[in-house]
């Protein structure tokens, strides 16, 4: 029996990444001044820059990497189809402006295919077994919600102790797969307040391709890391190896891990309130191990996804026959995924083959034409997948989004309901741009202002469909 995407995918999700698509370089030397400097050319940074340009204000986006996209990066070279090394999905088509924008630039943005399976050993689950898992997920979600209404404790502490044979599977779906962290490291309140991510929408050319297309024509300087941000009084600006850019406002979209690491210096230093908030919103671990198989040895249809009934944390998530090709990804996440990635790409590929052999037989991986693995924890410009609040840390998202004089922080970690998603990153960038424009005095000349950032829909109580499916993933996200 296959379960609906709403039943299965909205029980969780994630994020992860690495480079591929080249962005546009800033042709001229860096300007010496701008109304707003945006740090980072991911979804949040591109959204902010588009908003500022629409208001007829001068903006420059400086990106430390060599391409536009941030945690949305599409590899068009490694395989026969686009491979999103990071986030794969958009969500909430009724309220997500990115879907319309993607279509407006000629991209194929459509609901993701519905196929998904539950595997028990070497066989597919029977209807009753699938229903039993869904019922167990409902019970686990409701227990987390009930606990969150009383205190911001860990999801593990809220989980029922009598989940039986589904315990490890539920823990994987609600923890590593959904947020890149184990349940003991996740805030129950953060999970409870997350907006549902039921409808999954894919871009056939890749989400990295979409962000790069939406960034075309913007003034983006690549390979231009910010070294210091000054935000004291009238002395506002960003220092780079190519010189200093004076500004009236600065929007910072780097990940919470990069922000907390001190990789970018601030003068004066960031307030302890914001640094503590970033430290409570550290990134989870989520990576893709991509295997190009010969033919279709798994016997699965196009764009099928699959999990297994697991007995421990040594498990994964399968996306098979991506785009009708023979490319499959085995996604590893949470504490197990982090430890595995630390061992290196070869160890990750070995695990992926071992896991598929266990479920489909050794013949399934007898002929792997090519294999690659992402290791986002080791990427210095990101340092992980998507943000996940620690127990007691849910309120840190609001703190991180608060303006600090001429300084504005954006990115999925600052979004209270769509954290961990490309949607949330984009929305946060628009919000930060609106706040910066308000400080500057709004739209320059008599052009009409852009509409305000969309408000998230009221969150519904989670049932069978209600775990937090998302991807900055990442995943995401990845």
Which residues face 231 on adjacent strands? 236
Q: Are 294 and 264 in contact (CB under 8 A)?
A: no
Burial 131-153 (b: 16+ CB within 10 A, else e): ebbbebbbbbbbbbbebbeeebb
What's the pLDDT score for residue 266?
98
What's the pLDDT score for residue 28?
61
- In a domain, residue 26? The reply is no
| Cα 184 from Cα 371, distance rounded (Å) | 32
What's the pLDDT score for residue 22?
39
C-alpha distances in Å from residue 26, one per residue of 23, 41, 385: 10, 12, 28
- In a domain, residue 240? The reply is no
What's the pLDDT score for residue 190?
97
- In a domain, residue 29? The reply is no
Which residues face 267 on adjacent strands? 230
pLDDT in tens, 95-133: 899 999 999 999 999 988 767 899 999 999 999 999 999
Q: What is the 3-state secondary structure (H, E, C) of 31-45?
A: CCEEEEEEECCEHHH
How many Cβ atoms are within 10 Å of 17's Cβ, its own excluded? Answer: 37
Non-local CB neighbours of 27 within 8 Å, separated by 6+ positions = none
Which residues face 289 on adjacent strands? 330, 373
- What is the residue range of 319's domain? 286-378
What's the pLDDT score for residue 363?
96
Instruction: Classify residue 340 by burial, with Cβ atoms within 10 Å: 0-12, 13-18, 19+.
Output: buried
What's the pLDDT score for residue 13?
32
What's the pLDDT score for residue 11?
36
Which among 342, 361, 378 is the end of a domain?
378
Q: Are 405 and 250 in contact (CB under 8 A)?
A: no
- In a domain, residue 134? The reply is yes
- In a domain, residue 323? The reply is yes
Residue 225 has, within 13 A of its CA and on its CB side, a CA count of 10
Concatenating the DSSP letter of every residue in 313-328 gives S---EEEESGGGSSEE
- In a domain, residue 321? The reply is yes
| Cα 122 from Cα 136, distance rounded (Å) | 22
Q: Are 476 and 13 in contact (CB under 8 A)?
A: yes
Q: Where are the alpha helices (DSSP H) in 318-472?
A: 334-342, 345-360, 396-401, 422-440
- In a domain, residue 53? The reply is no
How many Cβ atoms are within 10 Å of 392's Cβ, its own excluded? Answer: 16
Which among 193, 222, 244 is the end of a domain?
193
| Cα 223 from Cα 26, distance rounded (Å) | 10
What's the pLDDT score for residue 65?
96
Concatenating the DSSP letter of every residue in 325-347 gives SSEEEEEEEHHHHHHHHHT-HHH
How many Cβ atoms are within 10 Å of 104's Cβ, its own excluded? Answer: 11
Q: What stretches in the chain show pLDDT beneath 70?
A: 1-28, 114, 198, 445-478
Specify the pTM. 0.89
Q: Are 68 and 21 in contact (CB under 8 A)?
A: yes
- In a domain, residue 290? The reply is yes
What's the pLDDT score for residue 20?
32
What's the pLDDT score for residue 195?
86
Peptide bond into 268 cis (omega under 30): yes
Short-list 414, 426, 65, CA closest to 211? 426
| Cα 467 from Cα 63, distance rounded (Å) | 34
Tokens linked to 30: 């860096």
**Strand ranges in 42-182 using DSSP code E only, listed in sequence order:** 59-62, 74-75, 83-84, 90-91, 109-111, 116-120, 123-124
Non-local CB neighbours of 443 within 8 Å, separated by 6+ positions = 55, 56, 57, 437, 449
| Cα 8 from Cα 2, distance rounded (Å) | 9
pLDDT in tens, 421-476: 999 999 999 999 999 999 999 777 544 444 444 444 444 444 433 333 333 232 23
Domain count, the chain: 2
Non-local CB neighbours of 446 within 8 Å, separated by 6+ positions = none
Q: Where are the alpha helices (DSSP H) in 361-417?
A: 396-401
Tokens linked to 281: 């919103």
Which among 343, 378, 413 is the end of a domain?
378
pLDDT in tens, 29-64: 899 999 999 999 999 999 999 999 999 999 999 999
What's the pLDDT score for residue 445?
56
């Amino acid at each position: 029996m296959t379960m609906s995407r709403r039943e299965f995918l909205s029980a969780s999700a994630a994020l992860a990444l690495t480079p591929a698509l080249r962005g546009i370089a800033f042709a001229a030397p860096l300007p010496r001044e701008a109304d707003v400097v945006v740090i980072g050319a991911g979804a949040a940074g591109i959204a902010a820059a588009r908003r500022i340009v629409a208001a007829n204000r001068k903006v420059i986006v400086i990106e430390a990497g060599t391409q536009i996209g941030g945690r949305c990066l599409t590899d068009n070279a490694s395989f026969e189809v686009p491979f999103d090394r990071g986030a794969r999905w958009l969500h909430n088509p009724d309220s997500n402006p990115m879907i319309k924008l993607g279509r407006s630039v000629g991209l194929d943005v459509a609901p993701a295919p519905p196929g998904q399976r539950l595997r028990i050993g070497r066989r597919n689950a029977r209807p009753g077994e699938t229903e039993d898992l869904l019922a167990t997920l409902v019970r686990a979600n409701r227990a987390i919600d009930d606990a969150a209404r009383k205190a911001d404790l860990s999801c593990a502490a809220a989980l029922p102790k009598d989940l039986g044979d589904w315990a490890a599977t539920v823990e994987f779906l609600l923890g590593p797969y959904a947020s890149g962290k184990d349940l003991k490291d996740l805030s129950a309140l953060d999970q409870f307040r997350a907006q549902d991510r039921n409808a999954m929408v894919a871009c056939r050319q890749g989400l990295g391709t979409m962000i790069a297309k939406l960034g075309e024509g913007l003034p983006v300087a690549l390979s231009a890391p910010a070294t210091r941000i000054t935000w004291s009084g009238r002395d506002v600006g960003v220092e780079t190896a190519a010189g200093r850019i004076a500004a009236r406002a600065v929007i910072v979209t780097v990940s919470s891990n990069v922000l907390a690491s001190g990789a970018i210096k601030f003068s004066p230093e960031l307030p302890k309130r914001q640094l503590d908030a970033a430290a409570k919103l550290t990134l989870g671990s989520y990576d893709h191990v991509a295997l190009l198989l010969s033919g279709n040895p798994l016997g699965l249809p196009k764009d099928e996804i699959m999990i297994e009934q697991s007995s421990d944390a040594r498990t994964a998530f399968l996306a098979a026959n991506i785009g009708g090709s023979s490319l499959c990804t085995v996604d590893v996440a949470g504490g197990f995924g982090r430890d595995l990635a630390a061992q290196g790409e070869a160890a990750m590929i070995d695990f992926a083959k071992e896991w598929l052999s266990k479920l489909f037989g050794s013949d399934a991986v007898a002929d792997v034409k090519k294999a690659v693995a992402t290791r986002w924890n080791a990427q210095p410009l990101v340092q992980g997948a998507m943000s996940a609040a620690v127990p007691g840390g849910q309120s840190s998202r609001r703190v991180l989004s608060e303006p600090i004089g001429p300084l504005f922080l954006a990115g999925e970690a600052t979004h209270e309901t769509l954290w961990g998603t490309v949607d949330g990153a984009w929305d946060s960038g628009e919000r930060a741009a609106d706040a910066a424009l308000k400080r500057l005095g709004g739209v320059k000349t008599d052009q009409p202002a852009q509409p305000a950032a969309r408000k998230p829909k009221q969150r519904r109580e989670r049932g069978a469909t209600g775990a937090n499916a998302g991807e900055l993933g990442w995943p995401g996200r990845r």
